[in-house]
Chains A and B, each alone.
Chain A
Amino acid sequence: MQALSFEPCELGPETDVLRARIRAFIAEHVEGLPPELRAQSWSAADPEFSAKLGAAGFIGMTWPRHYGGHAMSALERYVVLEELLAAGAPVGAHWIADRQSGPLLMRFGTRAQCERVLPPITRGELFCCIGMSEPDTGSDLAGVSARAVRSGDGWCVNGTKLWTSGAQVSHYMIALLRTSTESKHGGLTQFLIDMKTPGITVRPIRDLSGAAHFNEVVFEDVWLPADAIIGKEGEGWNQVTAELAYERSGPERFLSSFRLLVELVRVLGQNPDARAAVAIGRLAAHLITLRRMSLAVAAKLALGEDPALEAAIVKDLGAVFEQEIPEIAAALVPVEPSLDHPRAFERVLAQVIMIAPSFSLRGGTREILRGIIARGLGLR
């Protein structure tokens, strides 16, 4: 049984200044947005907002200055992220590039790839998507079948990626492709693909809320130069799994329905009955603890450790919490959720109820996460 640890982590006093800065930015650019848009938070892409955020120095915060970054600590970045998410800022356009693609390129990519892609990411002008799932490959990711075959001095790609969030606004995709059929895990390679390359078709897929955040991306004889490879040929699986702790432990894994909690407290008023007070106190306790656990993982990542198991626990507990909020809100306030109601609560409730099923699907399903935790316990 692997030992779990979530050491208490204190944020330094220097983060107060930064928190004040991002709160001022939020007051100017977020607080006037409609509550139902804020409820979508990091699902909502707004390239203009991302450009303003980049100009203010809040993207690529931990990256080195020569790539346009601001050489700040992971915990300073955490403060900015949690403030943006709690406010429901529309951070979706640059979210993946900032969280995952940039760090991946710095770890495994070439200097030329970094120089090309990272500076415009930090300006909030260049967005990335992640091509992992396929029509027949979801949780069983190593079954990827979209192929890259050597062609001249480059590669020729054919196949389909599915559920690719933000592909319609992204400039680059980081794709996991099959370069060999001899080994299931060892035949995968990551590529940096310019989305303007001929042969790529992006088809937005409308979800049940009516929005189209994710997409089908079809590759038909797409030619990539040799330097599109990220890292080493055949190392794609190891590189992808190295990203997961970053992807699974951040504040976006427990703040997705925070705006509904805010509107719920507003509707309950300052003197709620005992039942409502118990429910709010319990949710607040869970939120405080999830944030502590998430911060503890962030601190470990900053030290270069790989807390993949702890990250899976944060995401699993976080998704349960995010999905409980609409249940509890609906139980305490007996109204019909409505997209057009004059009061914000009904609109935010409607929005969150519809997107809540995705919380335990995206970024690793509940079943996959619990399997990872079970492995950590020595059960498999």
Chain B
Amino acid sequence: MQDDATILNDTLDRLLSARVTPGLLRAAEEGTWPGALWQELVGLGLTEIFRGMSDRPWRDAAVVMRMAGRHALPLPLPETILASALLPEEEFDPLEPIAIIAWEEGEEAAWPWPDQVRRAIGISRDGTAHWLAREGEIGAPARSLTREPRHAARVKRGFSSGADARLLAALMRAAQMAGAIERVLALTVEHARTRVQFGKAISAFQAVQHQLAVLAGNAAAAAASVDAAFARQDRSEMPVRGGMAVRDTMAERDMMVAKIHAGEAAGLGAAIAHQLHGAIGFTDEHTLHFYTRRLWSWRAQFGNESEWARELGRTICAAGADSLWLAIATRD
């Protein structure tokens, strides 16, 4: 990681460690918008990554998205950053939180933070992105496992683009998952080193050590696949803003790979973390669930790992057995 990205990473880690407390997370899940924190994050220029001076905006976006996942940030910051890359300049206001949601034409939307978030990008199953505004009364609750406040809502559709925005949204979730898995690993290592049973820390047991080694390996694979997909976005010559008219098949491949890996590591990592935490990690009082509930939710959003694996598998099989290696052995 280069210096400016490291500085961004460390600054954000310190800030979110101080601000995103269990108290703030619990209040957010009961419907309190952490408005002061939103102002502070916007004030740092984080929603303007794609309009700033950085020559590698996707790398910087990845840092923020991972940190948001690492701290279970209960604000649509990753979504707003991705929206800034997708929307035409004149539609984007860096102060305004924007959601990115799954949405099909003619249906009501499951709309997060309906009192604070007025506009969203709705992504349909075929990959089209629709610019949406919320209309009318707020409907029934439609919470996900993240417990982010979310309600049924009627929408007014603005323009649509033919872009494959769904993969970019999947990549955003993959980055958040990579961050949350890192946190889950750190919490579990800490627990294993401090929890004493049979007269010793449970980290002394090989059965525990090996489970954590599996978790660490899968966390590293998820992070590596996410980093690679973002690095390719910065190299890709295909414009994202206003719709990707031309497809970059290598970028698509890497985004699929990232969502597949992060999703698998999410399932496996959450299971290992809960097993090693024992009953305390299953309680509401403990903080582990802030991360594992998000992992279970994000894993399913914008295409789960089977959906993207099927897509990738079809492409590979269509090219035939003797082209398999050619699809793997690329230079970057």
A interface with B by C-beta (< 8 Å): 1, 4-8, 10-13, 15-16, 19, 82-83, 86-87, 258, 261-263, 265-266, 268-272, 274, 276-282, 284-293, 296, 310, 313, 316-317, 367, 369-371, 373-374, 376-380
Do A271 and B186 have beta carbons less than 8 Å apart?
Answer: no
Do A291 and B328 have beta carbons less than 8 Å apart?
Answer: yes
**Chain B interface category by residue count:** 35 or more
Do A377 and B213 have beta carbons less than 8 Å apart?
Answer: yes
User: Which chain B residues border A13 with CB–CB below 8 Å?
Assistant: 331
Partner of B328, one of A8, A281, A284: A284
Do B224 and A289 have beta carbons less than 8 Å apart?
Answer: yes
User: Which chain A residues border B254 with CB–CB below 8 Å?
Assistant: 288
Inter-chain CA distance A143–B322, complex, in Å, is 47
Q: Is B310 engaged at the interface, CB distance under 8 Å to the other chain?
A: yes
Inter-chain CA distance A190–B320, complex, in Å, is 48
Residue on A nearest B208 in the bound complex, by CB: A379
Minimum distance in angstroms from A235 CB to a CB of chain B: 29
Residue on A nearest B311 in the bound complex, by CB: A281
Residue on B nearest A6 in the bound complex, by CB: B224
Main secondary structure of the interface of B (DSSP, over half): helix
User: Which chain A residues border B260 with CB–CB below 8 Å?
Assistant: 281-282, 285
Inter-chain CA distance A87–B171, complex, in Å, is 32
Do B216 and A373 have beta carbons less than 8 Å apart?
Answer: yes
Residue on B nearest A317 in the bound complex, by CB: B217
Minimum distance in angstroms from A377 CB to a CB of chain B: 5
A-B contact pairs, 11 of them (CB 8 A): A1-B186, A7-B1, A262-B324, A278-B306, A278-B310, A284-B312, A289-B261, A291-B329, A313-B216, A317-B218, A377-B213
Report how many A-B pairs have Cβ atoms within 8 Å. 177
Do B193 and A378 have beta carbons less than 8 Å apart?
Answer: yes
Inter-chain CA distance A308–B330, complex, in Å, is 25
User: Which chain A residues border B325 with CB–CB below 8 Å?
Assistant: 86-87, 258, 262
Interface flags for B210-241 (1: CB within 8 Å of A; 0: not) read: 10111011101101110110010000000000
Do B261 and A285 have beta carbons less than 8 Å apart?
Answer: yes
Inter-chain CA distance A1–B186, complex, in Å, is 8
User: Which chain B residues border A280 with CB–CB below 8 Å?
Assistant: 309, 312-313, 316-317
Do A4 and B216 have beta carbons less than 8 Å apart?
Answer: yes
Residue on B nearest A275 in the bound complex, by CB: B310
User: Which chain B residues border A15 with CB–CB below 8 Å?
Assistant: 331
Partner of B221, one of A263, A281, A289, A370: A289
Chain B residues 253-284 with CB under 8 Å of chain A are 253-254, 256-257, 260-261, 264
Inter-chain CA distance A51–B206, complex, in Å, is 45
Inter-chain CA distance A289–B318, complex, in Å, is 21
Do A278 and B313 have beta carbons less than 8 Å apart?
Answer: yes
Do B231 and A284 have beta carbons less than 8 Å apart?
Answer: no
User: Which chain A residues border B317 with CB–CB below 8 Å?
Assistant: 265, 268-272, 276-277, 280
Q: Is B152 engaged at the interface, CB distance under 8 Å to the other chain?
A: no
Partner of B210, one of A5, A287, A290, A370: A370
With A11-B332, A83-B329, A377-B189 as known contacts, state yes or no: A317 contacts B221, CB within 8 Å: yes
Minimum distance in angstroms from A273 CB to a CB of chain B: 10
User: Which chain B residues border A371 with CB–CB below 8 Å?
Assistant: 206, 209-210, 213
User: Which chain B residues border A87 with CB–CB below 8 Å?
Assistant: 325
With A265-B324, A284-B327, A289-B261 as known contacts, state yes or no: A8 contacts B227, CB within 8 Å: yes
User: Which chain B residues border A272 with CB–CB below 8 Å?
Assistant: 313-314, 317
Minimum distance in angstroms from B166 CB to a CB of chain A: 16
Q: Is B292 engaged at the interface, CB distance under 8 Å to the other chain?
A: no
Minimum distance in angstroms from B80 CB to a CB of chain A: 26
User: Which chain A residues border B209 with CB–CB below 8 Å?
Assistant: 370-371, 374, 379-380
User: Which chain A residues border B327 with CB–CB below 8 Å?
Assistant: 284
Minimum distance in angstroms from B60 CB to a CB of chain A: 15
Q: Is B44 engaged at the interface, CB distance under 8 Å to the other chain?
A: no
Main secondary structure of the interface of A (DSSP, over half): helix
User: Which chain B residues border A10 with CB–CB below 8 Å?
Assistant: 331-332
Q: Is B48 engaged at the interface, CB distance under 8 Å to the other chain?
A: no
Inter-chain CA distance A86–B257, complex, in Å, is 20
Q: Is B290 engaged at the interface, CB distance under 8 Å to the other chain?
A: no
Partner of B217, one of A19, A270, A313, A378: A313
User: Which chain B residues border A291 with CB–CB below 8 Å?
Assistant: 328-329
Minimum distance in angstroms from B213 CB to a CB of chain A: 4
Q: A284-B313, A288-B254, A379-B189 are in contact. List 12 more A-B contacts (CB 8 A).
A: A15-B331, A265-B316, A265-B324, A270-B319, A271-B317, A272-B314, A288-B225, A313-B220, A317-B218, A367-B206, A378-B193, A379-B209
Q: Is B140 engaged at the interface, CB distance under 8 Å to the other chain?
A: no
Minimum distance in angstroms from A261 CB to a CB of chain B: 7
Inter-chain CA distance A274–B225, complex, in Å, is 24
Residue on A nearest B201 in the bound complex, by CB: A379
Q: Is B305 engaged at the interface, CB distance under 8 Å to the other chain?
A: yes
Q: Is B192 engaged at the interface, CB distance under 8 Å to the other chain?
A: yes
With A7-B1, A288-B328 as known contacts, state yes or no: A281 contacts B224, CB within 8 Å: no
Inter-chain CA distance A5–B224, complex, in Å, is 8
Residue on B nearest A264 in the bound complex, by CB: B321
User: Which chain A residues border B227 with CB–CB below 8 Å?
Assistant: 6-8
Minimum distance in angstroms from B254 CB to a CB of chain A: 8
Partner of A282, one of B305, B314, B324, B328: B305
Inter-chain CA distance A83–B264, complex, in Å, is 28
Minimum distance in angstroms from A88 CB to a CB of chain B: 11
Q: Is B308 engaged at the interface, CB distance under 8 Å to the other chain?
A: yes
User: Which chain A residues border B264 with CB–CB below 8 Å?
Assistant: 282
Partner of A277, one of B193, B221, B314: B314
Minimum distance in angstroms from B92 CB to a CB of chain A: 28
Do A281 and B331 have beta carbons less than 8 Å apart?
Answer: no
User: Which chain A residues border B261 with CB–CB below 8 Å?
Assistant: 285-286, 289
Do A270 and B224 have beta carbons less than 8 Å apart?
Answer: no
User: Which chain A residues border B331 with CB–CB below 8 Å?
Assistant: 10-13, 15-16
Q: Is B203 engaged at the interface, CB distance under 8 Å to the other chain?
A: yes
User: Which chain B residues border A82 with CB–CB below 8 Å?
Assistant: 329
Minimum distance in angstroms from B268 CB to a CB of chain A: 11
